[in-house]
Amino acid sequence: MGKVAVGAAVVCAAAVCAAAALVVRHRMKSSGRWARAMAILREFEDKCGTPIGKLRQVADAMTVEMHAGLASEGGSKLKMLISYVDNLPTGDEQGLFYALDLGGTNFRVLRVQLGGKEKRVVKQEFDEVSIPPNLMTGTSEALFDFIAETLAKFVATEGEGFHPAPGRQRELGFTFSFPVWQTSIASGTLIKWTKGFNIEDAVEQDVVGELTKSVEKIGLDMRVTALVNDTIGTLAGGRYHNQDVIAAVILGTGTNAAYVERAHAIPKWHGLLPKSGEMVINMEWGNFRSSHLPLTEYDQALDAESLNPGDQIFEKIISGMYLGDIVRRVLCKMAEEASFFGDVVPPKLKVPFILRTPDMSAMHHDTSSDLRVVGSKLKDILEISNTSLKMRKVVVALCDIVATRAARLSAAGIMGVLKKLGRDTVKEGEKQKSAVALDGGLYEHYTEFRTSMESTLKELLGDEVAEHISVEHSNDGSGIGAALLAASHSQYLEVEES
């Protein structure tokens, strides 16, 4: 063999060795990256752990905070607001009732004709109206004039099947989903605006008084008989269909719970005890916090960067507003520290709230063999293409960790409420049934979340007690529920009873 040939062979061999070394190095590097990504995932899973013992501690802490919040104003992170709702619907209500649902950039007006036990909801109609942006930051008078005019137009379209009682005012249930200091069943002072509203001259005013002024100005003969929030509306709607309903929970963009308390078990209540002996309490449970909640560095960062740091901690780990963003934050760390999506961190991954919970749910429920829904969501929302099946499986696992923690903690919260009411045990020979009404998009549409929450509640209760507790979907508390509360608190009830 000539020198040239030997030289060429040596060069070739060296090139092959170098290429092999590069491949090995690349594989070692990528396996190192993969190991780091898996370590981040495993650490997150550990920190999110909700073993049954921990959930029992969370439920106990919820019960303790409920007692503290009922004992004195400001006695707990739970506000435990007295709602002044002391008559929930029975199913006997009859007549035509209206509801106004104001809680965002749209509002709804609604009417129902109730036909008592036999006929129930005979007929219902509603209309949805967008609030012009200038009215969201204008004056109180301008906003409520606009709402009153919309109500008047809606009343004018009362058609067949709706029968206003002769000589009586039309009665309205007003769902107002902003922070309010309730002063009676039909009055409440606005504490502050949220959700893009900022009408300064309405703050510290009675919102029912403001609406009433506008209604009277245009000669509409209508009276607000109940001021409520959507959670209490859900409780009313649930109770109307099932008299065993004792509590309601909203699991949607936000979260809250309300329940029926014995009036004498509310030390901070100084008024006359209601005839029914009961009072609905609006817990505002999104603000619950406890050292037993499994919080991670991602939750702490989300809270620190939020509009309300230190507040609504429970809401920030269980509600739809935040779950998708927790997933994004973990993926972002994987991208930064383990080059999970390649050498460059995808810019979109750094945008807060770009990954919404409905998209997370779609990825979590992807049953295709190649997880193509996951692939298309990553591509369309985060502009991450060419993801391998292995990577997509990690994303699904991450969605599962975040949704499972939220679902199991929600169940622990419900367990805390049941404990407070003594419904977590079955007494000898007792056949008492209890039902919890649930509503909200997270509960309604995120199947994995709902299934996990319901099975965890059964696990916490134990088989024997679980037979006596049911969870049911109660739809449209903010609409129908408010109309039902207008009916159960009608000014004409005493007239009818006497």
Mean pLDDT of 104-121: 89
Strands in 308-420 per DSSP E: none
**pLDDT for the residue numbered 122:** 85
pLDDT, residue 32, reads: 87
Residues recognised as catalytic: 195, 230
The residues spanned by each domain of the chain are 48-82+242-473, 84-228
Q: Report, at the CATH architecture level, how domain 84-228 is classified.
A: 2-Layer Sandwich (3.30)
Q: What is the pLDDT of residue 432?
A: 84
Q: Which has more pLDDT, 475 or 277?
A: 277
Q: Hey, what are 339's tokens?
A: 């080059």
Task: Return the C-alpha torsion angle 199, 440, 212, 138, nearest 10.
Answer: 20
48-82+242-473 folds as Hexokinase; domain 1 (3.40.367)
pLDDT tens profile 256-287? 999 999 999 999 998 888 989 999 999 999 99
Amino acid at 71: A
* Helices assigned H by DSSP within 78-139: 116-119
Lowest mean pLDDT among 156-165, 394-403, 442-451: 156-165
Residue 368's pLDDT is what?
97
Averaged pLDDT for residues 420-428: 90
Q: Do domains 48-82+242-473 and 84-228 have the same CATH topology?
A: no
pLDDT tens for each residue of 77-105: 999 999 999 999 999 999 999 999 998 88
Residue 281 has a pLDDT of 96
The pLDDT of residue 14 is: 52
| Residue position matching structure tokens 């065993």 | 244
The CA distance from 52 to 408, in Å, is 9
Q: Are 169 and 96 in contact (CB under 8 A)?
A: no
pLDDT digits (tens, 9 = 90+) for 227-236: 999 999 999 9
| 20-36 residue pLDDT tens | 455 444 554 677 899 99
Residues 413, 419, 425, 427: what is their CA dihedral angle, to the nearest 10 degrees? -150
When pLDDT is averaged across residues 283-293 and rounded to a whole number, the result is 96
State the amino acid at position 448 in one-letter form. E
The yes-or-no verdict on residue 498 having pLDDT over 50 is: no
Coil/strand/helix, residue 278: strand
Residue for token digits 């893009």?
A: 196
Asked if 232 and 485 count as a contact pair (C-beta separation under 8 A), the reply is yes
| DSSP E strand stretches across 264-421 | 278-282
Q: pLDDT tens across 301-331, in order?
A: 999 998 889 999 999 999 999 999 999 999 9
